[in-house]
Amino acid sequence: KPIFFDLAFNSVTFPSLDQRK
């Protein structure tokens, strides 16, 4: 089976908390 990267997980990112701190 060839290598297949989980590219979608790179787009799992935290929201900015700058307005809340």
Partner 1 sequence: SLEQLFKELDEYIINSQFKKAIRVCNKILSVNGNDSEAFQCKVICLMQLSNFTEAIECFKKPEQIQSMQFEYSYCLYSTAKYQEALTQLEKQSSKETKSLELEAQIYYKLENYQKTISIYESLLSKPGYSDSIEFITNLCAVYLDAG
Binding site for partner 1 (CB under 8 A): 1-9, 11-15, 17, 20-21
User: How many CA within 13 A on the CB side of residue 2?
Assistant: 1
Considering the complex, what minimum distance in angstroms separates the CB of residue 16 from K ion?
Answer: 15
Residue that the structure tokens 């060839």 belong to: 2
What mask, x for binding K ion by CB under 5 A, covers residues 1 to 21? -----------x---------
Considering the complex, what minimum distance in angstroms separates the CB of residue 15 from partner 1?
Answer: 5
